[in-house]
A and B are shown apart, each in its own frame.
Chain A
């Protein structure tokens, strides 16, 4: 891939020095059950690093673990496993004065400026609080510093004695930014800093963040779900799905030629502010699986439009294949839901439980299609298991029959291109077709 000289320059300066290194980080939320608990795997083994002075974007849908990752890097959540090295020191085990020192170096700006500012404190007190906590110089110097900070973020000195409710959303976000800057951190985590703002206000805050980065040499982790914003402000981007990092790489490259099927689908689902654009949208089916019970293989395997099919079914009609996938999803949804009390009573009384109803679903899904008889036999077999209230057996049966490497094996992060891009997908293996090639045939 050819790159222009300015881009190369930027890449080399950004690659100067690693400020943060994350290795196989996991954050699980235990539900505190006494017996065999089933934790929520919010962050499930991610590794990446951030260079000094760069902005790394972290994108993904809600519930993908991006905020938990940010909070774990801040030590607001305890990591379950793995390490986070800031300037070479593992911060997951810090305590006492080391931890306090670390808190000075890393700061966070939160999404909602309403709930992250204490309504009972004046703006001056809010911005001064970190200075007070860390016993920074003398009180009068602190006040001077706060005034300076307010000016830096585009507020006025006289705002010192006002309360947060007297400010608009954009101004409040500026207060949050001033507070984050107070202790001169080197690394700032921005957790959806502009999501709650209108576009015209959003543009001002983004410009401010860029100015501050240039002025103070800050390093940003920019968490967001708005991909247009991320593309504008970030040097590199990481895409998360279900606690995993699906793809990470330089922003321009990742947006122009997404390698991972999930990135591809995510980008194609963003509405473009241009009505004349005719796009080949890939609309994903269903919703992400529960992070308590992630798929055994690739995290995206349940929704992936370019999933690898087992050799025997490679030439099957795509419609039939899709219905089988929907059928598997229905079963997955069912085994996830606990039977309600009335279901249990009904079952005890020997009355028909509505958890079955396979005789309705099968015709609904496959009725209007010309399904090969051997496929139908397998579907019926699975339906029989489900009819007997054993969804898990039905799922296993279907996984054995229609599953592929995507269902069985967790993919590795494989290198794509020559600018350090990584993507979590079996299709980058030389054995299979690349995702992009398959997408092309899909769109046609």
Chain B
């Protein structure tokens, strides 16, 4: 869907998925790590929402939390995940099993680990068809062949009877996508689906996802660390840092006028941004911290070139920074821009006083 369309879809109708104040923590002997710490975002039908961030920023844990695939010692501690008017966190394991792969499907980074090496690709697609749609026998085979054709695998009649090792990397990812589509999901969660692939194959997969989205009006949540891929596929982008969403904006706006110092740093450190050959790359000092305590301060402050004293004592809340449509928000004490710093800080301080945990 073009960004214009997506933008207008946003203004009307209910979101397909709505994550509110989600917190997922991991309990280790040493500390409690808040891998995802109070994030909120929406995904609308036919829209691609990108989540970017460096490793350890909590992107994958977000995806796993939505699918309720967080394993011990991880725990979803707070928040709501509203899908179709119901909170996914209230579902029983059995209900969850039918949602997973049914109306919400997921594509993982490494296609080899999501395919079972001892079954043919066809069998694995048919398993999903049997579990979620009650198809079996030749009907299921026919459907599986059609799905493989839909994701652009030539010679599907024969391919359906082959094993994963007989497929190339790009083909495997196509097969995984076919499997995800088997039950006509409304929401597709892609966790770095092209990271393990070469650029020419990545281009094929991105094109495929766009086509499928157009055909089926899919909502896609796309996780990646590659800003190029995000620019290409997303309609809307959430930037994550140390478990929090620090900036959220429509894709064009984010790349044109990034507001949060972290987003700015991230974009500047990509080589080839009209940089002269002899110019040095901009860097962000220090490393991503481990989010292991209550967010009573800005987690980016130690690395931030624009940090000031209050950054260590006041937790920044998401505030409107765009053109007034409420589409562009950043969590940084520098904003709202039109207020003097002290007043801006006060806005964040008050914002932090709102209600506590709901769970």
A225 CB within 8 Å of chain B: yes
| B231 and A274 contacting across the interface, CB-CB below 8 Å | yes
Q: Do B270 and A228 have beta carbons less than 8 Å apart?
A: yes
With a cutoff of 8 Å between Cβ atoms, the chain A residues found around residue B269 in the complex are 199-200, 202-203
Assuming the contacts A61-B199, A273-B227, A283-B203, asked whether A199 and B270 have C-beta atoms less than 8 A apart, the reply is yes
Of the listed stretches B279-287, B320-328, B338-346, name the one at the interface; the rest are far from the partner chain.
B279-287
Asked if residues A275 and B200 are in contact (CB atoms below 8 Å), the reply is no
- The answer to whether B270 touches A361, judged by C-beta atoms less than 8 angstroms apart, is no
Instruction: Give A180-230 interface residues, CB cut-off 8 Å to B.
Output: 198-204, 206-207, 210, 225, 227-229
Q: Does residue A232 face the partner (Cβ distance < 8 Å to B)?
A: yes
Does B12 interact with chain A (Cβ within 8 Å)?
no
Tell me what chain B mostly uses at the interface: helix, strand, loop, or mixed. helix
Interface residues of B in 203-244 (CB under 8 A from A): 203-204, 206-207, 225-234
Contact with A along B286-317 (1 / 0, CB 8 A): 01000000000000000000000000000000
**Quick check: A273 and B155 within 8 Å, CB to CB?**
no
Judging by beta carbons under 8 Å apart, are B266 and A199 in contact?
yes
- Return the chain A residue nearest B56 by Cβ: A198
Contacts of A22 in B (CB 8 A): none
> CA–CA, A231 to B279, complex, Å?
12
Enumerate chain B residues within 8 angstroms of A210, measured Cβ to Cβ. Answer: 280
Chain B residues positioned under 8 Å from A444 (CB to CB): none
A132 to nearest B CB, angstroms? Answer: 31
B158 touches A334 (CB 8 A): yes
Q: Taking the complex as formed, is A369 at the interface, i.e. its CB lies under 8 A from any CB of chain B?
A: no
Residue in contact with A269 in the complex, picked from B3, B200, B234, CB distance below 8 Å? B200
Q: A198-B54, A206-B281, A275-B252 are in contact. Are A168 and B287 (CB under 8 A)?
A: yes
Q: Residue on B with the closest CB to A303?
A: B200
Q: Chain A contacts of B169 at CB under 8 A?
A: 62, 287
Query: In the complex where A207-B281, A273-B227, A360-B157 touch, is A231 in contact with B271 (Cβ < 8 A)?
Result: yes
Name B252's closest neighbour in chain A (CB-CB).
A275
Residue in B55, B201, B271 whose CB lies within 8 Å of A228:
B271
- Flag if B277 contacts A228 (CB, 8 Å): no
> Across the interface, do A334 and B155 meet the contact criterion of CB distance under 8 Å?
yes
Chain A's closest residue to B250 (CB) is A275
Count of B residues near A, CB < 8 Å? 54
Chain B residues lying within 8 Å of A202, measured Cβ to Cβ, are: 269
Least Cβ–Cβ distance between A440 and chain B, in angstroms: 19
> Are the C-beta atoms of A275 and B255 separated by less than 8 Å?
yes
Chain A residues with CB below 8 A from B99, complex form: none
Q: Cβ of B155: which chain A residues have Cβ within 8 Å of it? A: 330, 333-334, 361
Q: Is the beta-carbon distance between B157 and A198 smaller than 8 angstroms? A: no
A361/B203 in contact, CB under 8 A? no
Q: Which listed segment binds A: B15-23, B69-77, B84-92, B160-168?
A: B160-168
When distances are taken between beta carbons in the complex, the residues of chain A under 8 Å from B200 are 61, 265-266, 269, 283-284
- Is residue A276 within 8 Å, beta carbon to beta carbon, of the partner chain? yes
In the bound complex, CA of A207 to CA of B38 (Å): 35
The docked-state distance in angstroms from the alpha carbon of A225 to that of B195 is 12
CB distance from A99 to the nearest CB of B (A): 35
B202:A200 contact, CB within 8 angstroms: no
B356: interface (CB < 8 Å): no
CB-CB nearest in chain B for A210: B280
Residues in A neighbouring B162, C-beta threshold 8 A? 337
**Is B199's CB under 8 angstroms from A198's CB?**
no
Contact assessment for A330 and B271 in the assembled complex, using a CB-CB cutoff below 8 Å = no
Inter-chain contacts of A357 with B (CB < 8 A): 157-158
In the bound complex, CA of A272 to CA of B227 (Å): 8
Question: Can you name the residue of chain A whose Cβ is closest to the Cβ of B156?
Answer: A364
Contact partners of B267 in chain A: CB under 8 A: 273
Q: Does residue A270 face the partner (Cβ distance < 8 Å to B)?
A: yes
Assuming the contacts A210-B280, A275-B251, A354-B157, asked whether A200 and B265 have C-beta atoms less than 8 A apart, the reply is yes
Closest Cβ–Cβ distance, residue A347 to chain B (whole Å): 14
Please name all residues of chain A whose beta carbon is closer than 8 Å to the beta carbon of B225 when the two chains form the complex: 198-199
Q: Which of A62, A198, A199, A330 is B198 in contact with, Cβ under 8 Å?
A: A62
- The answer to whether B166 and A337 touch across the interface, beta carbons within 8 angstroms, is yes
CB-defined contacts of A283 to chain B, threshold 8 Å: 200, 203-204, 207
Are A273 and B168 interface neighbours, CB within 8 A?
A: no
List CB contacts (< 8 Å) of A211-257 with chain B: 225, 227-229, 231-233, 252
Judge if B275 is at the interface, Cβ distance under 8 Å: yes
Q: B171 contacts the other chain (Cβ, under 8 Å)?
A: yes
Q: Is the CB of A229 within 8 A of B199?
A: no
Contact with B281, one of A232, A269, A355 (Cβ below 8 angstroms): A232
**Hey, which chain B residues are within 8 Å of A33, CB to CB?**
none
A275 touches B283 (CB 8 A): no
Q: Give the chain A neighbours of B252 by CB distance below 8 A.
A: 275-276
Question: Most chain-B CB neighbours within 10 Å: which of A206, A231, A232, A277?
Answer: A232
22 A/B residue pairs, CB under 8 Å, sorted by A: A200-B266, A200-B283, A202-B269, A206-B281, A207-B281, A228-B228, A228-B272, A266-B199, A269-B203, A271-B203, A271-B231, A272-B232, A275-B3, A275-B232, A283-B203, A284-B204, A287-B168, A287-B170, A287-B171, A333-B155, A337-B166, A354-B161
A residues near B (Cβ < 8 Å) are: 61-62, 168, 170, 198-204, 206-207, 210, 225, 227-229, 231-233, 252, 265-266, 269-277, 281, 283-284, 286-287, 326, 329-330, 333-334, 337, 354-355, 357, 360-361, 364
Known: A210-B280, A271-B206. 7 other contacts (CB 8 A): A198-B225, A201-B54, A227-B199, A228-B271, A274-B231, A281-B203, A330-B154
